Amino acid sequence: MGVVNVTPDSFSDGGHFFSLDAALSHAEQMIVDGVDIIDIGGESSRPGAQPLSLDEELRRVMPLLYALRDYGKPISVDTCKPEVMHEAIHAGADMINDINGFRAMGALTAVKDADCALCIMHMLNDPQTMQLKPTYGDVVAEVIAFLQDRIEAMEQTGIARNRLCIDPGFGFGKTVEHNLALLKNIGKMQTSLGLPLLAGLSRKSMIGVITGKPAKSRLAGSIAAALFATAQGASILRVHDVAETVDALKVWQVATLHS
Ligand code: 9MG
């Protein structure tokens, strides 16, 4: 899964006019590089990020979704807002990726009658407060319990289980220790919940803490994390650097299958 952010950091003039052409070129390059799913999002989920208005999120995401839907690649829309989910599904989105685990009022209703895939992510609190001293007794058990709860809520609404995938939410209300515990227990989470697992580790601060590198220099660390997650059983990797990750996975897979 390749990330195309339509947030101010990706605005061509530093904050005012987002270039649809630039986002499209970015997505086109990802397709050339071998992406399987394109994840587009308009609201930043960085720690401390301010919430975005509904109008502004629609203004950022919808033109790109309309422009990308004829490229033949599955499109995921990263949103927590039921109204954006509704519009995105209507426009043909193949997946809704909700870092809030479909907890907003109206989120389950917005997705229940569609047939798109749904990614349920764990996040402690919200992006403004999630990194203020995150605390767990047993992070793996608590993330599994949260995801189990959300899966049950979705199934009770009538959502078919085969539409769902789970995500422990690396960096969303977690210390480096919490992230490492989750990374090492991907297999356990997957067997306990019986659903494909999406791992988003690319350029995250945990890689910065381990390597001492700023976000733009975290490629090698991100690839190591992606391969480790794959070896533990992750099914989908959410990444910024598609070409490099695809190459790394090709080598890893050939080596793994070689007799
Ligand atoms: C939007 N977004 C940012 N990081 C993410 C992650 O780790 N997982 C998912 N599902 N979405 C993410």
Query: What pLDDT shows up at residue 9?
Result: 63
Q: Do 111 and 103 meet the contact criterion of CB atoms below 8 Å apart?
A: no
DSSP-derived 3-state class of residue 2 = strand
Q: Which atom of ligand 1 is nearest to the CA of 169?
A: 7
What is d(CA 181, CA 31) in angstroms, rounded to the nearest whole number? 33
Query: What pLDDT shows up at residue 167?
Result: 98
Q: Do 172 and 201 meet the contact criterion of CB atoms below 8 Å apart?
A: no
Both tokens assigned to 190: 């997957």
Grouped pLDDT means (10 residues each) for the chain, 259 residues: 84 56 92 98 87 94 95 97 98 98 98 98 87 91 98 98 98 97 98 98 97 96 98 98 98 92
Substitution candidate for ligand 1 out of 52, 60, 78, 81 with most atoms within 8 A of CB: 78
Query: What pLDDT shows up at residue 239?
Result: 98
The answer, yes or no, to whether any atom of ligand 1 lies below 6 A from the CB of 42, is no
With CA atoms as reference, report the closest residue to 170 among 138, 197, 133, 132.
197
The answer, yes or no, to whether any atom of ligand 1 lies below 6 A from the CB of 121, is yes
Distance (Å) of CA 143 to CA 77, 139, 168, 175 = 23, 6, 6, 14
Substitution candidate for ligand 1 out of 39, 45, 84, 99 with most atoms within 8 A of CB: 99
Query: What pLDDT shows up at residue 12?
Result: 47
Cα(230) to ligand 1 centroid in Å equals: 16
Distance (Å) of CA 1 to CA 35, 116, 167 = 6, 15, 13
Query: What pLDDT shows up at residue 45?
Result: 87
Sort 235 into a burial class: Cβ within 10 Å, 0-12 / 13-18 / 19+: middle
Query: What pLDDT shows up at residue 15?
Result: 47
Cα(122) to ligand 1 centroid in Å equals: 10
What is the DSSP code (8-state) at residue 244? Answer: H
Q: Which atom of ligand 1 is nearest to the CA of 200?
A: 7
Q: Is 60 a catalytic residue?
A: no
DSSP calls for 112-146: HTS--EEEEE--SS-TTTTTSS---SSHHHHHHHH
Substitution candidate for ligand 1 out of 98, 124, 238 with most atoms within 8 A of CB: 238
Q: Is 218 a catalytic residue?
A: no
